[in-house]
Amino acid sequence: MPARLATGDRDFEARFAALLAAKRETDADVDAAVAAIVGDVIERGNAALIEHTARFDRVTLSAAQLRLSPEEVADAASRAPAESVAALRVAATRITNFHEKQRPQSLDYTDDVGVRLGMRWLPLASAGLYVPGGTAAYPSSVLMNAIPAKVAGVARLVMAVPAPEGVLNPLVMAAAQLVGIDEIYRIGGAQAVAALAYGTATVAPVDKIVGPGNAFVAAAKRRVFGRVGIDMVAGPSEILVAADAANDPSWIAADLLSQAEHDVSAQALLVTDDAGFARQVEQAVEDHLTVLPRADIARESWERNGALIVVRDWDEAAAIVDRVAPEHLELALDQPEAFAHRVNHAGAIFLGRHAPEAIGDYIAGPNHVLPTARSARFASGLSVFDFMKRTTLVGCDAAALAALAPAAIRLAEAEGLDAHALSLAIRLNRRPTA
């Protein structure tokens, strides 16, 4: 059963701390296995990709078959239901509109000393988009990963998507067609991440890898970071719903299960000020689980990682939210905006009783690739900024240098960096002091 906590209980602090500290993915062999796979791809390239694809996805490919041809993509996409493709188009438009408003502004000005200072933003040259294709296929992830890259101006977009048993998901291919992915490879797991980072004879390396995946993908992204950039090391999905008794418990239960059904390691938490309402939500969860197709996954997630937290007041609730730093935060309250202003740590916040997290997963506009495992304390969701880099500019004329150089020379000498001091002093027609 899910954990039941109440802030008024003597053991609340210990139990809540244990809930925060619990590891939901504990496979000790993941890092070692990933290190071996990444090293194998670095050493053997395509041969390793083909071998690991046969092992994990149960499909045998030649080097020429690693990359999908435009005809294969079009053929698979043509089998996607027209209604679903139409829904993808609506989502793509909304996601694009939101991300276009994120484009950063460059700086360029001259200060009161006469020094020209600036900052310019440029897109990355290439990006690799990892799209899960295991227990569930996610065409929405294609949109969420690719559209901010497109808006940023990335010239080359590469997608890696596993095709278990050789099967391509039609709607994933339709999404890739819709956003204009340049290259698609039917590879997944740690081997795909390694190929995107280091390249093979078939797969040219990229500058940054983004997108969610399982524990092996996350470990591989962590391992290749530094060789390439990554968006984040994403863990299992999570949701915290703050809800009062004015809500329909069936609605809130459905919201909790919307994340629990992702994975047995996902986490769903309810924070409420009404113990009776918490019991109603718990019963509603049981009712939904009798009919949901992914009930086995959702039940295991709910019973292993879920929690019902009863607070004495909403001041306590705000502090709890910040300690959890959830990926998704729903505020099913009368005044959600006021509560939201008190929250410092959340990946995405959903305001009010009619803004379920699922609307953000697909069609609202903001990105659904969000920080997990309490990393919302220091990280943000995927955005246009993740596909851009900034370069600063400094320009001095003789007068500006003369005004600033004496202080810079003194600092260089204090640090014992004489060549630094010399490069400044020589332009002032004098030598640095001894």
Residue 245 carries which side chain, given as an amino acid letter? A
Q: Alpha-carbon distance 352 to 159, whole Å? A: 36
Measured CA to CA in angstroms, residue 139 lies from 130, 175, 178, 321, 384 at distances of: 11, 6, 11, 30, 19
**Residues with catalytic function:** 327-328
Q: Alpha-carbon distance 173 to 282, whole Å? A: 38
Asked whether the beta carbons of 389 and 149 are under 8 A apart, the reply is no
Give Rg (Cα) of the chain.
Answer: 26
Q: Alpha-carbon distance 256 to 269, whole Å? A: 7
Asked whether the beta carbons of 278 and 317 are under 8 A apart, the reply is no
Q: Alpha-carbon distance 145 to 157, whole Å? A: 10
How many CB atoms neighbour CB 397 within 10 A? 11
Strand pairing partners for 109? 117
* DSSP notation for 88-136: HHHHHHHHHHHHHTTPPPPEEEE-TTS-EEEEEEEE-SEEEEE--BSSS
Asked whether the beta carbons of 224 and 209 are under 8 A apart, the reply is yes
Q: Which candidate, 194, 189, 190, places its Cα nearest to that of 41?
A: 194
Asked whether the beta carbons of 149 and 157 are under 8 A apart, the reply is yes
Sequence-ordered list of residues with C-beta below 8 angstroms from that of 83, at least 6 positions apart, any chain:
none
Q: Alpha-carbon distance 111 to 376, whole Å? A: 36
Q: Which candidate, 117, 109, 115, places its Cα nearest to that of 398?
A: 115
Asked whether the beta carbons of 269 and 302 are under 8 A apart, the reply is no
